[in-house]
A and B are shown apart, each in its own frame.
Chain A
Amino acid sequence: DGGITQSPKYLFRKEGQNVTLSCEQNLNHDAMYWYRQDPGQGLRLIYYSQIVNDFQKGDIAEGYSVSREKKESFPLTVTSAQKNPTAFYLCASGRRTPLPEAFFGQGTRLTVV
């Protein structure tokens, strides 16, 4: 089945530790995105990539890092510099043409204690 797989679904980490969230897609999409969701805040863009080995910061990139070494994979690292990392993280992929629509994974809920 084609789709976007995020793992794990739930993640717990101690404060001060870096943690990496996985996102894999087999839809052959060029573009991939990471969004953060907090209650009442909607989805806020962290990073996005429209081609392998290239990515751009979104609105809230501070404290996060990404890599795009393969078309299928776009892992997100939440570093210890992120002041409030507990949130629901959503990965998406999509084509830019003919429509810039995004297809979402099931999300990872990160809790930092």
Chain B
Amino acid sequence: AQSVTQPDIHITVSEGASLELRCNYSYGATPYLFWYVQSPGQGLQLLLKYFSGDTLVQGIKGFEAEFKRSQSSFNLRKPSVHWSDAAEYFCAVGANQAGTALIFGKGTTLSVSS
């Protein structure tokens, strides 16, 4: 079955500390991978995406993610977290195939402490 797992429901990080949010996927086709961020009561904003090539991808707001095919993972990282990064983060997987839509994980809520 196709699925996305975000093992951490809630993470708290001190401001200025590094961050890693985990994402594992199960997908039969060649996966296209995405990270989105959502502020409370808002829509989702695309942070970054991976479909081929360099397995380390850079996104907006200083985020990066690394695709590891052997581990079926696409973890999101940031070297130094800012208070404004507090939000909910969603990992998603999709395919370039007719009749498909993105499949989302259940999300990880990030809190930033001062």
| Interface class of chain B by DSSP | loop
> Which residue among A6, A44, A56, A99 has the maximum number of chain B CB atoms within 10 Å of its CB?
A99
Q: Which of B13-21, B42-50, B62-70, B72-80 contacts A (4 or more CB under 8 A)?
A: B42-50
Does A19 have its Cβ within 8 Å of any Cβ on chain B? no
Does B53 have its Cβ within 8 Å of any Cβ on chain A? no
| Interface class of chain A by DSSP | strand
Partner of A101, one of B34, B97, B107: B34
Tally of B interface residues using CB under 8 Å = 28
Residue-wise interface mask of B (83-114) relative to A, using a CB-CB cutoff of 8 A (1 in contact, 0 not): 00000001010111111111111110000000
Residues of B within 8 A of A (CB): 9, 32, 34, 36, 41-46, 49, 51, 90, 92, 94-107
